Amino acid sequence: MKELSIFVDESGVFGPYETHSPFYIVTLVFHDQSIDISANLIRLREAMSQRGLPEYTVHAGPLIRRDNEYREFYIEDRKKIFDSLFHFVRMVDIEYHSVVVEKRQDFDDIDLLVRITKQLSAFLYEHMISLTKYDRIVIYYDYGQRELTHILVSVFSAILNNVEFRKVSPTDYKLFQVADMLCTLELLALKAERKLLSKSELSFFTSERNLKKSYLRAIQKKRYKQ
């Protein structure tokens, strides 16, 4: 049985436009279950261990901003954690697609729902041939935002008849953490394009130029092309 796993994460607030949250991004990470990534996972654990880092869930946004559990970490250690997972993303055989909505000041919840639904539906129809070759497609999401959960269920179920949904915790799957990192990098790409990068983001990546050259260009090669 051919099975496709899709790990979903989001960035932004589901609701009207807010100054601190002008974008809403949904990222889907695709992994064909016939492709063994166990060697990549072992190398990631070894890289973390060699750098003296613990094996735990990576949250890219707080890691960059030095928030939450990373408050006591020096920037050198935070970069090591980020780069270890980033290297894993570059090397592992996955693809991704991001739905991006830039909210206007007159946006409300319905406007956002419609935009996400239309973009996600268009993507699935465009890639129907490659998606229907699978006997089963399993969507992994933590149900963190109820509105997005409803969109995922309604859109995927309406377009594909071989879909299952599983609620997961970020600690359960590294590819869920990958979806989180890719969501963060797509947001950073938008902010860099509009000169909106914060001081903490510029400090973490050294410069906007380094962010684009060393991270964004490399990761965008993973965008879904089937």
| pLDDT given for residue 104 in this prediction | 79
Tokens of 124: 């699935």
| Per-residue DSSP letter, 186 | H
Residue 90 dihedral angles phi and psi, to the nearest 5°: -60, -35
Average pLDDT, the chain: 92
Count the neighbouring beta carbons within 10 Å of the beta carbon of residue 43.
15
| Per-residue DSSP letter, 223 | B
CA-CA-CA-CA dihedral for 85, 87, 93, 94, to nearest 10: 50
| pLDDT given for residue 54 in this prediction | 67
User: Across the 226 residues of the chain, what is the mean pLDDT of every consecutive 10-residue run?
Assistant: 96 83 94 96 87 77 90 90 94 96 82 94 96 96 94 96 92 92 96 93 95 95 88
| pLDDT given for residue 1 in this prediction | 87
Domains and CATH numbers, the chain: 3-222 (3.30.420)
Q: What is the pLDDT of residues 135-154, one digit of tens each?
A: 999 999 999 899 999 999 99
Q: Rounded CA gap, 184 and 147, in Å? A: 20
CB-hemisphere CA count at 13 Å for 156? 19
pTM of the model as a whole: 0.94
CB 189 within 8 A of CB 195: no
Q: What is the pLDDT of residues 41-50, one digit of tens each?
A: 999 988 888 7
